[in-house]
Amino acid sequence: MSQPNNKKLSILYILNILKTYSDENHLLTQADIAKKLYSLYGMECERKSISANIDSLIDYGYDIVKSSNGCYLASRELEPSEVVFLTDAVFSSRSVSSKHAKELSSKLQSFLSVYNRKKHNYVYKADEINRSANKQLFYNIEVIEQAISEGKQIRFNYNRYYFNPEKNKRKSSKSYVVNPYFMINNQGKYYLVCNYDYFDEIANYKLDLITNIEIVDNAVKPITQVKGFENGIDIAKYVNENVYMFGGKSIVAKIKILDDYVANYVNEWFGSNASFYTVDDELFATIHANEESLVYWCMQYSKSIVLITPTDTRERIKNMLQQALNNYNN
């Protein structure tokens, strides 16, 4: 173990002090840094050496601002606004357990000075959000990434919840062998996009419901051999079309918008996959979307949205709404 007064380490200690205790509102003088070196690391260092080390850090590329009042680290690997964004993303993700949410947030906050870290204490309310209890999430990610890079299949159990305990046990013990293609985060949930060999289509599995994952020594089936993806897959297009991450085919649909305000929701959910137009002062949109996702989305906004075509999809929605009405009447 290195001795506290090993002068070779002083430049690293000084960098850590600047990262932790300085920002544009909290400048450190050479005397401040000398005190921190002694209190934190038991190292005595002359001001001249501190100044030389700071100049070396600047020469190396660190954005350290010096003035007559002291110095501070002006830019970091992650800026405060970026840490806020990423911390919020971790906090709101239901795929991440509360323990991991706290650990990740703590790591993100280490990019900030101690004075800015205090602003993110709300993340410790992570326990109050309904979220996954699966502690294997990050292990699952590692295994899937390795399998994708090696072009191998994976095997896992998938733990959907059923009220019937026997069905729960039976379904959870079933093994799935799939061809993994990529992972995406959608609405705070993390999904594996893959192909199950028994079906000629793309499937989505929530990573937090996957357990007992392992790599299988079988070559992955190319996505170009999956129906509808003969030319490969545009991941951004896939995400935009699959707003609820259902499997199945994508369709081109025509909807009638009864309330102009709802156009905002169409744009919010489908973005460039929706094209608006008017006919006789009535508002319509053409949408490219996954059929299953679109059915449930139309039901969600059924007071203000009417699906016109395809007619078979329209009939499905009518039947589902009628069944729902019957359920309430009974």
Verify that 216 and 196 share a domain, yes or no.
yes
Q: Is residue 117 part of a domain?
A: yes
Per the structure, the complete domain to which residue 57 belongs is given by 7-73
Verify that 143 and 214 share a domain, yes or no.
yes
Q: Show pLDDT as tens, one digit a residue, over the chain (330 residues).
A: 445 556 789 999 999 999 999 999 999 999 999 999 999 999 999 999 999 999 999 999 999 999 999 999 999 888 887 887 788 777 767 677 777 778 888 888 888 888 887 655 555 454 555 555 666 888 898 999 999 999 999 999 998 767 677 877 787 788 999 999 998 887 767 889 999 888 888 888 988 889 999 999 999 999 999 988 889 888 878 877 777 777 778 899 999 999 888 888 888 888 888 899 999 999 999 999 989 889 999 999 999 999 999 999 999 999 999 999 999 998
Q: Is residue 51 part of a domain?
A: yes
Compute and round to an integer the Cα radius of gyration of the chain.
27
Distances (CA, A) of 108 to 72, 163, 266, 327: 20, 38, 34, 48
- CATH number of the domain residue 55 falls in: 1.10.10.10
Closest CA to 207 of 222, 220, 194, 224: 194
Q: Is residue 118 part of a domain?
A: yes
Q: What pLDDT is stored for residue 206 in this prediction?
A: 86
Q: Is residue 245 part of a domain?
A: no
Q: What pLDDT is stored for residue 284 in this prediction?
A: 95
Instruction: Tell me the C-alpha distance between 158 and 123, whole Å.
Output: 29
Verify that 36 and 15 share a domain, yes or no.
yes
Domain final residue pick, 203, 233, 263: 233
Q: Is residue 162 part of a domain?
A: yes
Q: Is residue 240 part of a domain?
A: no
Place of tokens 């506290």: 4
- CATH number of the domain residue 291 falls in: 3.30.70
Verify that 170 and 153 share a domain, yes or no.
yes
Q: Is residue 244 part of a domain?
A: no
Our CA dihedral for 103, 109, 113, 118, rounded to 10 degrees, sits at -90
Q: What's the total number of domains in the chain?
A: 4
pTM: 0.61
What residues does 306 pair with on adjacent strands?
256
Q: Is residue 239 part of a domain?
A: no
